[in-house]
A and B are shown apart, each in its own frame.
Chain A
Amino acid sequence: MPGKTLYDKLWDAHVVRQEEDGTALIYIDRQLLHEVTSPQAFEGLRLASRKPWRVDANLATPDHNVPTTDLSGGVDSIVDPVSRIQVQTLGMNTKEFGITEFGMGDPRQGIVHVVGPEEGATLPGMTVVCGDSHTATHGALGALAHGIGTSEVEHVMATQCLIQKKMKNMLVKVDGELQAGVGPKDVVLAIIGAIGTAGGNGCAIEFGGQVFRDMSVEGRMTVCNMAIEAGARVGLVAVDEKTIEYVKGRPFAPTAEQWDAAVEAWQDLKSDDDAVFDKVVEIDGSKIQPQVSWGTSPEMVLDVNGRIPDPAKEADSVKAGGIQRALDYMGLQADMAISEIPVDYVFIGSCTNSRIEDFRAAAEVLKGKKVAATVEQALAVPGSGLVKLQAEKEGLDKIFIEAGFEWRNPGCSMCLAMNADKLPTGKHCASTSNRNFEGRQGAGGRTHLVSPQMAAAAAVAGHFVDVRDYL
């Protein structure tokens, strides 16, 4: 019998029962909750007079609607009444059902996918779910983590299980050594550019190879975060010494004898040498360049020195139509150089890139420089209160502020414009977030996905530039 993949092992360890047709009940170790996708689930429980199966498996924090400016008024700081009700509803629901919530004003509050790993609330070997597609982030710790819909949020609360069929195994192997100035975000954008936004549909993607072995755990989170942009609900990286070092000492992490036992169990959280994958994609890491997305789908991405595609040269009519629509929406012309695109807004934040290493990387580029006068707004939004405190301890806030950035409070911010931070119509934004869909950052807004370093360099230049010239 061939060996098992990491996904096989995580799956097998969580099957409660399985039907003949493969439909299984999978036990869920941790559910993360936020204000947008949970209210209807709590309502469902109440209507059916059901209680959560295991209260302590749930952890909540508001993030999507939270303002990133002055928070001194707590929930009352939210000006939009509809947003305020949603955040208040999370507070009332978690209180009613006895679920721990890091509410507004708590230094542990932040973007749910930053908070989970930071608290040790997501651990290697766990199954982790959240009503948010970027839950794949937690796979960076060797956890089986995926986004679910609200009906499933309710299902997990009521039963501690999820009805699932096993996905296919896909390996994305990136070997070689990354060039200076090329980071995890560039790696994952290059992968999405290579395999497309449907490339991982139906699969759990394991990211393997030297590039991921060399990468920090936070970098792995950036990569796994965007597995969903490659179509895969699950992204995974094998557990190694870096993972264990990362988890150690975090508030929810095990201690004493339990720690020793956990570390021993976690040693097995990697694919066997003879494991068989249904699909394998190999990419040469040493050839990856800094990436910039030009269109309205994450697969519409180019090397920084690339040129915008020409729909007239695309044989497939559906694809050509897609390119033309994207060009029209983005206000770009075929064959333009990426460096010709002006940058009006800069956003460094989101569950993809708002951890301490992201701010360190951007600060390295910004130090002693100024944001270009043509840039209308540059936002730096830490992923959690604790990331913000750490950055301030290191003096990074001063570098951002002196350069002309606004140093904000934690939240999802301009990644999806459910709060006050919105990209205006027709404006181009260098954004470290994960989606460049039409209207994602604000109706009519034009998003370009980049790494924190590339966003910082674009802020200084006022248009896209190769960050390698700035290091």
Chain B
Amino acid sequence: MDKFIKFSAIVAPMDRANVDTDAIIPKQFLKSIKRSGFGPNLFDEWRYEDVGEPGQDCSNRPLRKDFVLNQPRYQGAKILLARENFGCGSSREHAPWALKDYGFDVVIAPSFADIFFNNSFKNGILPIVLDEQVVDKLFEEVFAQEGYELTVDLEAQKLVKPNGEAIEFEVDSFRRHCLLNGLDDIGLTLQHADEIRSYEEKRRQTSPWMFNA
């Protein structure tokens, strides 16, 4: 995983609550056995006028002009500003894969669905939870100013607005450490292989029925 470094980028506003994973990446694209290439189908049903099929070239498909990501002012956005309960629904990791492949490194919302929140960190996406009023304000500012950018500083746990105003955010220290250093969870866990083995041995003694195959 790449290290998460400080950056500034355009913010795209997704102004609706309960954006679910079926909307983020519709199920027909889940048939892929790869991890990459989901970006062109991010928000497929909202983004295109026709029904998307896996494996298709999306560059000539008719776009829904009013959809936020199709508007010229939000091209190149790396930060998605969203409403409450973003990422609800299925556990598909294809949702963060699609967001990442499209170019989003950060999603800001008043709340996230648990599985999506968790999956994001594992794919180098930083989900940031901010108070509803702060998010409301950001929406206002993004709508008001074309080219609105935020600077994301994970090290300092701060977002910086174009006017220099900073917004602090909370992030789990372990997850922050993993993102900043681009660490792979499996390698970290296997450092504790002896502890896992000794737990397992004890469990085999006390609850042997858990090991029936």
Binding site for B on A (CB under 8 A): 16-17, 19, 21, 23, 25, 27, 29, 36-37, 39-40, 43, 48, 50, 53-54, 56, 64-65, 80, 82-83, 85-86, 89, 100, 123, 125-126, 131-133, 135, 147-152, 154-155, 158-161, 163, 165, 197-198, 201-202, 228, 231-233, 252-254, 258-259, 261-262, 265, 297, 318-319, 321-322, 325, 416-418, 435, 437-440, 443
The complex places the Cα of A32 from the Cα of B155 at a distance, in Å, of 37
Interface centre among A80, A154, A318 (most CB of B within 10 A): A318
Q: Which of B28, B35, B114, B200 has the most CB of A within 10 A?
A: B114
CB distance from A257 to the nearest CB of B (A): 10
B32 contacts the other chain (CB 8 A) = yes
18 pairs from A and B in contact (CB 8 Å cutoff): A43-B35, A56-B211, A132-B90, A133-B91, A147-B90, A155-B186, A158-B189, A160-B196, A160-B200, A198-B18, A258-B212, A265-B207, A322-B16, A418-B28, A435-B22, A438-B22, A443-B26, A443-B45
| Interfacial chain B residues near A149, Cβ < 8 Å | 91-93, 96, 115, 118-119, 122
State A83–B26 Cα separation when bound (angstroms): 15
Q: Are B90 and A318 in contact (CB under 8 A)?
A: no
Q: How far is the CB of B60 from chain A (nearest CB, A)?
A: 19
Please determine whether A165 and B172 come into contact, CB atoms closer than 8 angstroms: yes
Task: Return the contact of A86 from the options B33, B122, B199 (Cβ within 8 A).
Answer: B33
When distances are taken between beta carbons in the complex, the residues of chain A under 8 Å from B26 are 439, 443
CB distance from B139 to the nearest CB of A (A): 10
Contact of A258 (CB < 8 Å), options: B33, B115, B185, B209 = B209
Give residues 84-123 of B contacting A (CB, 8 Å): 84-85, 88-93, 96, 111, 113-115, 118-119, 122-123
B208 interface residue, CB < 8 Å from A?
yes
Interface pair A151/B18, CB less than 8 Å apart: no
* Residues of B with C-beta under 8 A to A64: 30
* Contacts A159-B189, A318-B83 given; does A147 touch B174 at CB 8 Å: no
**Residue contact A89 to B33, C-beta cutoff 8 Å:** yes
Interface size on B, residues (CB 8 A): 58
A133 touches B89 (CB 8 A): yes
CB proximity of B101 to chain A, nearest CB, Å? 13
Complex Cα distance, B29 from A82, in Å, reads 10
For residue B62, which residues in chain A have a CB less than 8 angstroms away from its CB?
none
Any chain A CB within 8 A of the CB of B137? no
Q: Are A132 and B91 in contact (CB under 8 A)?
A: yes
**Which B residues are within 8 Å of any A CB, using their own CB?**
16-18, 20, 22-23, 26-28, 30-35, 45, 51, 54-55, 83-85, 88-93, 96, 111, 113-115, 118-119, 122-123, 172-174, 185-186, 189-190, 192-193, 195-196, 199-200, 203, 207-213
A437–B88 Cα distance when bound, in Å, is 10
* CB of B19 to closest CB in A, whole Å: 10
Decide: A133 and B90 in contact? CB cutoff 8 A. yes
| Extra A-B contacts (15), CB below 8 Å, given A16-B196, A152-B122 | A27-B199, A37-B93, A82-B32, A131-B91, A133-B90, A149-B93, A197-B18, A254-B212, A262-B207, A318-B83, A321-B16, A437-B20, A439-B22, A439-B45, A443-B26
Is A201 in contact with B22, judged by CB distance below 8 angstroms?
no
Contacting residue for A254 out of B35, B111, B113, B209, CB 8 A: B209
Q: Which residues of B contact A258 (CB under 8 A)?
A: 208-209, 212
A261: B residues at CB distance < 8 A? 208-209
**Which among B18, B84, B186 is the interface contact of A50 at CB below 8 angstroms?**
B186
A147: chain B residues at CB < 8 Å are 90-91, 115
By a CB distance below 8 angstroms, the chain A residues around B16 are 318, 321-322, 325
Q: Return chain A residues, CB-CB under 8 Å to B114.
A: 201-202, 231-233
> Which of A37, A197, A438 makes the CB contact (< 8 A) with B92?
A37
Chain B, residue nearest A64 (CB)? B30
